[in-house]
Structures are given as C-alpha cells and as structure tokens.
C-alpha cells in the first residue's frame, strides 16, 4: 500500500497527549507531513509538529511516540520529527472533535 499524507496523519492519531487526552492530529499539533522516495521502495517521512507550549513537558514523549508509530507503517523508511514553534500553536488549530472533548465551545 503506498504511503500517503492522509495515511500518516491517521497513524499519528494513535499518539495521544498525556495531559489533554486528545490525539495530536486533532489538537492541531501536526503542521507538515512530507514524503520522499527512500531506498528499496520505501518512503521517508518528515513531520513538522509543534507543542501546545514551548515548555510542554510531554514533548519528548510525543516526539518519540510519533516517530515510533509512523516507523511501524509498512513501506516507511526513515522518519524524522522536527519541532517548530512558528507559527505558535493556538486552540484555533484544533478540530471540532477535539474542542468537544475538551469542552471548548
């Protein structure tokens, strides 16, 4: 099965913020998913994501889980997760489902 941005984002929905109990995709933490052809028929994945705050204590855990989750996908080669803080995260980036889960109206 070919790797697509949508498939990577679906896989990343398995990564849940341990403080908010909402997945990182619905929280709006995933900014960019880049796919590049890798060696031996694999696809390398580069992810740019942010945190809800620059001092987010769950940052290393979220990075590690994101990399592990995407690396486990069939056909994925190298996975790189970069943290970016520009643009800064705001609750506006959350999906309606995430807002409902957190009681934000």
Contact at 8 Å (CB) between 15 and 50? no
* pLDDT tens per residue, range 13-58: 999 999 999 999 999 999 999 999 988 889 999 999 999 988 889 9
What is the CATH classification number for the domain harbouring 64?
3.30.300.130
When divided into structural domains, the chain yields a total of 1
| Cis previous bond, 59, omega within 30 | no
Residue 50 counted as domain residue? yes
Taking the model in full, what pTM does it have? Answer: 0.92
Assigned domain for 33 exists: yes
Strands (E), the chain: 30-37, 43-49, 76-83
Domain span at residue 72 reads 5-84
**What is the band of 1 on the pLDDT scale with cuts at 50, 70, 90?**
low
Strand order in the sheet with 43-49: 30-37, 43-49, 76-83
Q: In this structure, are residues 82 and 50 in contact, taking their beta carbons and an 8 Å threshold?
A: no
């Amino acid at each position: 099965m070919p790797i697509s941005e949508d498939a990577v984002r679906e896989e990343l929905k398995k990564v849940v913020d341990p403080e908010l109990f909402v997945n990182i995709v619905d929280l709006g933490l995933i900014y960019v998913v880049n796919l590049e052809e890798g060696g031996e028929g694999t696809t390398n994945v580069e992810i740019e994501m942010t945190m809800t705050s620059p001092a987010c204590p769950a940052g290393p855990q979220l990075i590690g889980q994101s990399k592990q989750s995407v690396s486990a996908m069939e056909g994925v080669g190298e996975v790189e997760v970069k943290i970016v803080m520009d643009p800064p995260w705001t609750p506006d980036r959350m999906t309606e489902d995430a807002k409902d889960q957190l009681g934000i109206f």
